[in-house]
Chain A
Amino acid sequence: MSLFARRPWTRWAVPASALALVAAGTVAASTSATADPTLPERTPAQLLVDIQSAKVTGLSGTVVQTADLGLPSISIPGAKKGSADLSSTIMGTHTWRVWYAGDTKARLALLGQGSESDIIRNGTDVWMWSSTTKTATHYTVPANFGPKKDAGAITAPRIAEGLATPLPSSPQDAADKALALLDPSTEVTAPGTTTVAGRAAYQLVLTPRAKESLVASVRIAVDAETKVPLRVQVMSTRIATPAFEVGFSAVDFGTPDDHTFTFTPPPGTTVEEGTSPLAGAGDKSGAVGKGVNPMVPGENPRLPATPGSQPPVPGMPGVPAMPGVPAGLAMPSISGTGWATVIVATMPKSSPSTSTDAAPDARPAAGPNPLEIIQGAMTPVSGSWGSGRVLEGTIFTAIITDDGRMAIGAVGSDTLQGALAAGPIARPAE
């Protein structure tokens, strides 16, 4: 105290050191949270086997998803942070809470600022709840629906699943086959470890060999203990931060209580009986049935149970284009291979602005059409192939030509233009 009395300015050191203490503590905490733990080495093949044979009886956690796809910032209603509209998940940051207890019990909650959308599955009942519209939609699914798929979804990333054909005889076999299939286009490495949600994890990194690919790498963090994928990051060659990331920010592998999965529509709720869109969703196309709830255009069948089962990564082999690539396109032509695949297609003549959505009628009628806004924000471009507009995202590029063609791929604009120049002359759709 006497020092403070003699030199009053020294008092300011107290708040300053308090601040410094907190800053140091925060840095230390975040460093230890991201520090690379020391784990026994695993090869990529071993990791793929691990992922496939992972068995989880239950988990609960928080999943944070961020997308920086380089789309023009448009006012998709609720596209900002913290919207609970299930159709707004293509942009920005979103937080999910997930609960999982065996194959027939799962719950997903998309948190918004003061709102929430839930999907709850309990046996044969599936409820979709929206706090915004105060609507609960009930679907019935077959009792045996999904276990296999769900198990696959939670134990293996789609890549391995999709590539492991013909039927592998063992997980090891499947992993080897997957690696063999991947190898020409992709370098698969397990460079080290990381920490996700406070858990030690292995990194499995897929690096495209194609130089023109906009995808720098896909990084999958696999929990060292349970072998569950904890995080998937898609890195772009254009930005330093992940273009797309979905991962646990907190996870607990205890089985959640049963009451987490019980849902009774609260009083005052509009209850709708949905004709099950999930019944036809066993395939990977994500096709949408007619009775789909309008709040989830085309998205619900492939809602992820874990980060590992996210919608197919754009540009991934076997899934060459962006989700939402036009369903009504006439005879798309494909050029390039693997990561550098370019799709050139003729757009239906009718309304080009809606043709790029798989389920245009499922979008809420109100509000501006995001596609139109995107088109308006695209940059004019021209070349030997003609002229059009280009949208350069962080992991994909799309060109819509004035004569009604469209080229899209996880490559730069020049590659797309090359494909357009080499591609078939546009013909009116028949």
Chain B
Amino acid sequence: MSAADAPTVRPGVAPLHRAPRGISTRLFRSELALIGGRRRNQMGLLVLAAIPIIMAIATKMTATDRRRGGDLLSSMTSNGLFVPLAALLVEMTMFLPLAIAMLSGDAIAGEANIGTLRYLLTVPVSRTRLLLVKYASLCFGALWGVLTVAVPGAIIGIALFGFGDMPTLSGTTLSGGAAIGRFALVIVYLTTCLAALAAVGLFISTLTEQPIAAAVAVMIFVIVSWILDGVPQLDWLHDWLLVDRWLAFQDFLRDPIAWHDISQGLFVNGLYAVVFWLLAWARFAGKDVTS
């Protein structure tokens, strides 16, 4: 009832009090509505979507020397799908992790901060399940973020540069259908990367009642990981850094696909997801919630 008293804060939660029985997706749907309904998240999605559009238009206007730069950026003019791929490459280092940091900061710490967490816990749902739902919604948020870059990027890219056979890094060409398949694989892979970060974020979120602090801590985690990843003396550690294989999604653009780094990345993603979710569970299930 309390949540219903404050509909502006948790508009989607109220029905849960009436229908707690069985395996329900209501809690999950309510979480998604909450994430999608926040104005700051909507603004964040706009920024994410703007990057590929800006990149595509800037490239279209200045596309004179396509041989400059060796990466996806310079391939943009050859196929529209390279626009979202280049945008993902750019945003994967900072913007997309930032989006996950914000979402995971809101997940537990944000609720605690505005005092809705204890009401949420009055829902006859175990803390473990609540945490699972929170994590599932964060994973969905990860997919959401990746798609927000990928779909507008693909649309603007194909509109400006056309679509057809896609050259690979190996110098071969893929048919349009195969290219879309590779693109889908990239989206799935990057979603798992961000979902693993979301588990870290969820754990950090259980440690504090300040969503900003949690978000900042997640970003520090990401940045420190990037820095460590750049220190050659620590190469023994690199395999175990979450961010190390994030950019390996470009291996999907080789012919044939180079699976080695990708599979290592998936393994590390899974490892982080499991361990940090369990840490979050250990912390959250025994936590005194006072606000």
Note whether A and B form a binding pair: yes
A interface residue numbers (CB < 8 A to B): 4, 8-9, 11-12, 14-15, 18-19, 22, 62, 73, 80-81, 84, 92-93, 95, 97, 109, 111, 113-116, 118, 127, 129-136, 249-250, 260, 263-270
For the complex, count residues of B whose C-beta is within 8 A of A.
Answer: 38
Contact of B169 among A12, A115, A249 (CB under 8 A): A115
Q: Which of B232-250 contact A (CB under 8 A)?
A: 232, 235, 247, 250
**In the complex, chain A residues whose CB is within 8 Å of the CB of B78:** 266-268
The answer to whether B167 has its CB under 8 Å from any CB of chain A is yes
Q: Is the CB of B18 closer than 8 A to any CB of chain A? A: no
The 8 Å CB contact of B279, one of A4, A15, A269, A270, is: A15
**Which residue on B lies nearest to A12, using beta carbons?**
B282
Query: Given A11-B281, A132-B70, A268-B78, is A114 in contact with B260 using a C-beta cutoff of 8 Å?
Result: no
Q: Report the minimal beta-carbon distance from A133 to chain B, rounded to whole angstroms.
A: 6
Q: For B172, give its contact among A12, A73, A115, A264 (CB under 8 Å).
A: A264
B67: interface (CB < 8 Å): yes
Cα distance A51–B71 when bound, in Å? 40
User: B67, A270: Cβ atoms under 8 Å?
Assistant: yes
B114 located at the interface, meaning its Cβ lies under 8 Å from any Cβ of chain A in the complex: no
- Check: B258 CB closer than 8 A to any chain A CB: yes
**Distance, CA A269 to CA B260, complexed state (A):** 28
Is the CB–CB distance between B170 and A268 below 8 Å? no
25 contacts between A and B (CB under 8 A): A8-B285, A11-B283, A11-B286, A12-B282, A15-B279, A15-B281, A15-B282, A22-B271, A73-B232, A93-B235, A109-B170, A111-B254, A114-B70, A114-B71, A114-B250, A115-B71, A127-B171, A132-B70, A249-B260, A263-B172, A267-B173, A268-B66, A268-B77, A268-B78, A270-B67
* A171 to B: closest C-beta gap in Å: 35
Using a Cβ cutoff of 8 Å, how many contacts connect chains A and B? 105
Given contacts A15-B282, A113-B247, A133-B70, contact A267 B167 (CB under 8 A): yes
Interface residues of B in 167-209 (CB under 8 A from A): 167-173
Nearest CB in chain A: distance from B65 CB, A: 11
Residue in B173, B235, B275 whose beta carbon sits within 8 Å of that of A19 in the complex = B275
Known: A97-B258, A111-B254. 5 other contacts (CB 8 A): A18-B278, A95-B260, A111-B258, A114-B247, A136-B171
Question: CB within 8 Å of A: which of B251-290?
Answer: 251, 254, 256, 258, 260, 271, 274-276, 278-279, 281-283, 285-286
Decide if the interface of chain A is mainly helix, strand, loop or mixed: mixed
Q: Verify A114–B275 contact, CB threshold 8 A.
A: no
Q: Are B170 and A129 in contact (CB under 8 A)?
A: yes
Min CB–CB distance B287 → chain A (angstroms): 9
Interchain CA distance A136-B171 in the complex, whole Å: 8
Tell me, in angstroms, the Cα distance from A269 to B254 when the chains sit together. Answer: 16
| Contact between chains at B285 and A4 (CB < 8 Å) | yes
Are A22 and B275 CB-contacts (below 8 A) given A8-B286, A62-B260, A113-B247? yes
Bound Cα distance from A113 to B249, whole angstroms:
10
Complex CA distance for A109 and B170, rounded to whole angstroms:
8
Taking the closest CB of chain B, its distance from the CB of A71, in whole angstroms, is 13
* A-chain residues with CB within 8 Å of residue B279 when the two chains form the complex: 12, 15
Smallest beta-carbon distance A423→chain B, Å: 37
User: Are B281 and A14 closer than 8 Å at their CB atoms?
Assistant: yes
Contacts of A11 in B (CB 8 A): 281-283, 285-286
The answer to whether A266 touches B172, judged by C-beta atoms less than 8 angstroms apart, is yes
B160 interface residue per 8 A CB criterion: no
Contact partners of A135 in chain B: CB under 8 A: 67
Across the interface, B66 reaches (CB within 8 A) one of A97, A134, A263, namely A134
Chain A residues with CB below 8 A from B59, complex form: none
Q: Is B116 an interface residue (CB 8 A)?
A: no
Q: Judging by beta carbons under 8 Å apart, are A131 and B171 in contact? A: yes
- Once the chains are docked, how many angstroms separate the CA of A11 from the CA of B72? 46
The chain B residue sitting closest to A11, CB to CB, is B282
Q: Are A266's CB and B72's CB within 8 A?
A: no
Q: B135: shortest Cβ distance to chain A, in Å? A: 14
Interface residues of B in 53-73 (CB under 8 A from A): 66-67, 70-72
Closest to A268 in B: B78
Cα A131 to Cα B67 with chains together (Å): 9
Task: Chain B residues near A22: list those with CB within 8 A.
Answer: 271, 275
Contact of A18 among B165, B168, B275 (CB under 8 A): B275
